[in-house]
Every structure is written in C-alpha cells, then in structure tokens.
C-alpha cells in the first residue's frame, strides 16, 4: 500500500487548500510532505477523479519509469490534456513529454 503524504487532506477538496496556502513555497512544502517516503500519494477534490498525484523520491523508483521500464508508461495526447500541452510547450518533444507505450 502506498502511504499518503504527511498532510491532512480536506474531506471534499483534498490537497487543494494546502496547495493554495503553500504556493509561495511549493517545492519546500512538497519535500516536507514526502520526506522519508520513497513513494507517496495525494489527491485533489473528490469530485475530480483525475486529480491524483503520485510522488516518487526514491532514486530506484525514478530510474524504473524514466529508464528501465520507460516503454510501460503512457502520456495522453496534448489535444486531450491541457497540462501535457503546457509541458510540451515548455519542455519540447523530449523524454518527459514523449507519447509512448
């Protein structure tokens, strides 16, 4: 079982209230939430079933999906997902935004 991040998630809005309170220090906040956990999760509002975040901080886990098992993971087409369209605009068509799998 994957542990939840070290933050009490709001019953209806999930991690959104904490995210909004910590936008000014988002990276430090995420480190605090996941410190000492190789893998952990968080979720957004209960009415948005797509709002799920998986945090991987263990180097072996990162290597697993960026190198060893890269072909096993897919990303949605840009026209279907505005987040990936933004990532592709920012990062280009490299390893982090490639459609594969």
More reliable by pLDDT, 81 or 62: 62
Q: What is the DSSP letter of 57?
A: -
- Predicted pLDDT of residue 101: 44
Cα angle vertex 49, ends 22, 75, to 5°? Answer: 85
Distance, in Å, from the CA atom of 33 to the CA atom of 14, rounded to the nearest integer, reads: 14
Q: What tens digit of pLDDT does each residue of 1-37 get?
A: 888 888 888 888 988 898 899 999 999 998 998 998 9
- Predicted pLDDT of residue 74: 67
Q: What tens digit of pLDDT does each residue of 29-66 get?
A: 989 989 989 999 888 888 887 788 888 899 998 888 77
């Amino acid at each position: 079982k994957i542990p939840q991040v070290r933050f009490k998630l709001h019953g209806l809005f999930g991690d959104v209230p904490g995210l909004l309170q910590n936008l000014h220090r988002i990276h430090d906040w995420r480190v605090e939430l996941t410190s000492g956990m190789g893998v952990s999760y968080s979720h957004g509002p209960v009415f948005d079933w797509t709002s799920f975040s998986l945090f991987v901080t263990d180097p072996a886990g990162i290597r697993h999906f960026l190198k060893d098992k890269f072909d096993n993971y897919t990303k949605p087409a840009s026209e279907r997902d505005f987040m990936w369209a933004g990532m592709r605009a920012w990062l280009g068509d490299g390893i982090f935004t490639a459609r594969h799998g």
